Structures are given as C-alpha cells and as structure tokens.
Amino acid sequence: MADGLTTPASTSSTARPLAWRRATVTRIVQETPRVRTIVFDVPEWPGHRAGQHVDVRLTAEDGYQTERSYSIASPPEDARISLTIERLEDGEVSSYLVGELRVGDTIELRGPIGGHFVWDFSDGGPLVLVGGGSGIVPLMAMLRHRALASADVQRALPARLLYSSREWSEVIYRDELARLAADDPTLRIVHTITRKPPLGWTGFRRRIDRAMLEAFAGTAAERPRLFVCGPTPLVESVADTLVTLTYDPATIRTERFGPTGGT
C-alpha cells in the first residue's frame, strides 16, 4: 500500500532545484476518522497552482530520513499550505502526520511540484473532476480556486465533480462540498458510495462505471477539461472509459495513488 502520491509527477515544473523549507503547523482539522487536514505556515513560499503537490521529508533522531509526496489542498490564493492526508495502516509517514503531528511542530517540505495535473481559470472549461477516496485533494484545490472567482467566471466555467467513497463517513470535505454546491448553481457534485451507504441513501451505490460517466461528464463536443485522481485501478478504468466515450485524450489529466482497498 502506498503512502502518498505514486505518480511520475515527482519532478519540478521549474528547471532549478527546489529548496527544502521548514513548515510550521498552524492548524489541524479532522476531516474523517482516518483523514486530517494540516495547515502549515511556510516562510518564503513561492506560490502554487491548483493541482500541484509537495514533497515532505521526516528525519528521525538517529538520522534516518524518509520522503513522501502529498497534494496541496489549499487554493493558490491562500497564504498557507494545506495538506489533507489519509492515515494508512503501513504508512510510516502518514501515520506520523495524522497521528502524532501537533500545532507548533515543524517538518520539512519542498515544492510546488508538478505542471501536468494543474488547472486555473485561463485553462478554460467546462471542468469535469472524477475522484476516489483521498484523490479528492487536488480536485478540491481546483474547486476552491474556482469558488474564489467572480460569478461571471464561474458561469463561464461550469464544473462537475463525481466522487467515489467507500462509506458516507469517509467522504472527505463532505460539509464543504455541500456548501459549495448549494452556493453555486454552476457546480454539480455527485457522490457514489460503494460499500456502506447511509440509511435512506438514494444516490449511486457502485464503483464508477461507463453508465455513470455517460450520465455525468456531459458531451465530448464540449471539450471539457477532465481531471481524474484516486487509486490506480479507478484512475485507469475511468480514463480508459472516457476515451471510449470519444473524449479527447489530450484533455484528460490523471494522477494516481497506490491501492487503498478499492474505492
């Protein structure tokens, strides 16, 4: 099981090497029983684009070091950096970040990293996002970025999110997503719960499939900007299906994680 991003996007979008910076925890939000958002103050942060990630480095007292990559959850407009991290059973880094890190603690991070899985207003739309589990994190940065735009920009760039979770209690950013959709008629959010839907649930109850994508993604003629993030099997299945539905492969961006039990 992977601990953090396992995509090839581990190289910087800039030519010069990125510096390691000391990041201080300023706030911690418990998103679900296994997921935390950690907010950092990072001096001299150069700014980032929605969808980018950072490398995190931990150093033990004996000098042992380990690194993992995590998507940035905060929009480019935020001065602080937010990382939303799921604790994995055998994840040495995620276990520490979710279980041990406290306000006032410091870690090392470098970034921003990645230039492929990014979106901003100038890239256009419609924006179609498909996520599974903690794959929602970079997609949420895009939605937060879009939510800070004017109403005119939002109308010109309608957005849809299809989000797969195992249980309702595991839906990351659940309340915030509901608020965003309630405040914005040009944003549509659809959940599918694959294992334990709540009592009275009338939505989708299965993994994302062709019929679901046909009903959700709009038409290929719209040339939407498509972003897919989540466990590798989900990402590969969704991307392959979108191509068979005649969406232009050049408009499909993917980012994947190691297996997380089949969201």
Q: Which two tokens stand for residue 155?
A: 């109308």
Least confident of 40-44, 164-168, 248-252: 248-252
pLDDT reading at 4 higher than 80 = no
pLDDT in tens, 48-104: 999 999 999 999 888 899 999 999 999 999 999 999 999 988 788 999 999 999 999
- Tell me which residue of 172, 254, 241 sits closest to 212, measured CA to CA: 241
| For range 223-239, the mean pLDDT | 94
**Residue 14, pLDDT score:** 43
Number of C-alpha atoms within 13 angstroms, CB side, residue 17?
3
Residues 6+ positions from 178 with CB-CB distance below 8 Å: 189
pLDDT in tens, 199-211: 999 999 999 999 9
**Residue 12, pLDDT score:** 39
- Residue 16 CB burial class (10 angstroms; 0-12, 13-18, ≥19): exposed
| Residues facing 227 on adjacent strands | 129, 253
Question: Position of tokens 């940035």?
Answer: 72
Whole-model pTM: value is 0.90
**Residue 3, pLDDT score:** 56
CA separation (Å) from 241 to 43, 154, 208, 235?
A: 43, 27, 10, 10
- Tell me which residue of 84, 82, 74, 72 sits closest to 30, measured CA to CA: 84
Catalogue all structural domains in the chain, each as residue range(s) with its CATH number.
21-113 (2.40.30.10), 121-257 (3.40.50.80)
pLDDT reading at 213 higher than 70 = yes
* The residue count for the chain: 263
Q: Which two tokens stand for residue 28?
A: 């911690």
- How is residue 72 annotated by DSSP? B
**Residue 16, pLDDT score:** 61
**Residue 11, pLDDT score:** 37
Average confidence score pLDDT of the chain? 89
Alpha carbons 23 and 230: distance in angstroms, whole number? 26
